[in-house]
Structure 1
């Protein structure tokens, strides 16, 4: 069946939340960003320094890269809880390759390839093994990080080739970091894929009604497998950026990132049950979370309090969009 008929079939479900509600939610995110920006500027005289703002973008870009891919997966009705474990395993892989004296391109490739393979494992468990994605990825989260600890223990790897640190610490022009440029480029690609291609329509249709999508001719299992691979690859790329910024490999890196990345996605307006979501919303949510986290750091708030704030945000952003969708649906 053609993409035109597929679009017509899925449009009723996708537009339950009307466009004015979508705009309103993203407008709220913009307003929240402006308010938090003003609060941070008032809290610290150094916040408006270009290099300080650069630090904000670096702190959020690594997680946001994964959030872009995760958004597509959640729109398709699935989820991946293992991204933190993938990042740790990819970092250990890069550390071992670097310790063997191999050149920079192979070090970077090993991290991304490890993420890709981990995504294949998750995709196979869900699409071939028929294991629910939340169960499968909770298991692989423990598996991947467990392998990282089994290989490295409590050790640290710090031997990396020249130029590796630039990926996570370097700037393209002045305070404009390479990580920011990379994230903006990936966000632009994601926006086009989601909002201007048949691929984006198929992702949304799969999350809206998997059975109807399958009957319409969409290879839903192949699509979901590809999305798990994309998330794993994005986690591998994030591991490259994080490891190069830290300058070392530890099995404990990216601990708890799963919660923050999923919060970015849901805060951006992506429905946890799938079928609804925009990439600009996820980008705005990533910026907002970066500002909130950085602002709490300026106030020397303990890390455990930041975790409480993140958890609270996740609960709120699951409840509020659901209420908006019900309200919007009732208005139509």
Structure 2
């Protein structure tokens, strides 16, 4: 069976069925659901998360995890606000926030790639530490009053009905797709994610690759944090808190293995559509935010559990079939003897 056909009737096919079901249900709940304005709003409310989900796909396929992305988003947003409040030009404040985000990623990447610490522990520490710095910068205040051009970038359409953040997502998705699926760097990411030791013995500079991916993760997370500050128009110390749950769920639900080495952006794109439409439907039903978070948490568990159960079932089936194939075929001569 061709690989594309297997994929269509596999995990991506399941996501397509789920997406179709959610869309039908939402359409029945609200006739205006399919309007262009609602679809843009559907993306706009979670645009920062789905931007970071793109780079998180690279991180997890590479066999690592980055739990600090939401804290980096919050830190970048708080830094922009504090610098602007102190009289720094907004353009310079944005550049400083992007630089800090890249440095946060480099910090994580150094301990993971060069020291050999597990990324789960390193980025968990980063999640706590970077959030702590953001709270120290803002304390209990809320900083707003940004320039009109800055908030317009986050709230007003830029080209036609599409805001800047949605245009950036589309461009980044195409760029990520080309890099991951059609470039030498993408192939190296898969190879290292499958077996880092074998890749290292093959002459691949795994440390440099992992460091680069974590730097990209911090940079994209800081960009998303800046976009979030522009969209909200005000920043607090808890900005983007808890976003990492949705981000990681989008990637794992898209068929990317938590152990690395497998997955693609097509599946992640479908998972993003499923989650955004599911959240939109729950909002139409006036489901509270806490319940929505619980549903997303269940999706995260299922996205890890179902592929593992399927793999276990496939291995058992192969073990049952193997002895039958290896059994000798009796001939007439052997029977007569």
1:254 to 234, 240, 262: 240
Which whole-Å CA distance do the structure 1 matches of 2:168 and 2:314 have between them? 36
Number of aligned positions between the proteins: 315
Counterpart of 2:31 in 1: which secondary structure? coil
Contact 1:87 1:239 survives alignment (8 Å): yes
1:208 to 187, 194, 219: 194
Which whole-Å CA distance do the structure 2 matches of 1:57 and 1:165 have between them? 18
1:86 to 35, 51, 72: 72
Which whole-Å CA distance do the structure 2 matches of 1:55 and 1:269 have between them? 26
Matched, 1:181 2:171: no
Matched, 1:296 2:282: yes
TM-score for the superposition, normalised by structure 1: 0.90
Counterpart of 1:274 in 2: which secondary structure? coil
Shift of 1:129: 2.9
Deviates more, 1:257-266 or 1:123-132: 123-132
Contact 2:157 2:164 survives alignment (8 Å): yes
Q: Which runs of 5+ in 1 are unaligned?
A: 1-17
Deviates more, 1:143-152 or 1:317-326: 317-326
> Could you tell me which residue of structure 1 aligns to residue 266 of structure 2?
280
What is the RMSD of the two structures over their aligned residues, measured on CA atoms?
1.8
1:233-271 CA distance string (max 9 Å, x none): 111011011110000111111111111100000001100
**Following superposition of structure 1 onto structure 2, how do residues 1-332 of structure 1 map, counting pairs within 5 Å?**
20-23=5-8, 24-326=10-312
- TM-aligned CA distance change 1:177 to 1:27, over 3 Å: farther
Shift of 1:154: 1.0
Counterpart of 1:172 in 2: which secondary structure? strand
Contact 2:82 2:138 survives alignment (8 Å): no
TM-score for the superposition, normalised by structure 2: 0.89
Which whole-Å CA distance do the structure 1 matches of 2:136 and 2:84 have between them? 18
Contact 1:87 1:235 survives alignment (8 Å): yes
Shift of 1:325: 4.3
Counterpart of 1:280 in 2: which secondary structure? helix
Shift of 1:289: 0.8
Shift of 1:303: 1.3
Shift of 1:328: 5.9
Contact 2:106 2:211 survives alignment (8 Å): yes
Contact 1:21 1:324 survives alignment (8 Å): no
Which whole-Å CA distance do the structure 2 matches of 1:118 and 1:194 have between them? 23
Shift of 1:315: 0.5
Contact 1:60 1:287 survives alignment (8 Å): no
Q: Which runs of 5+ in 2 are unaligned?
A: 322-337
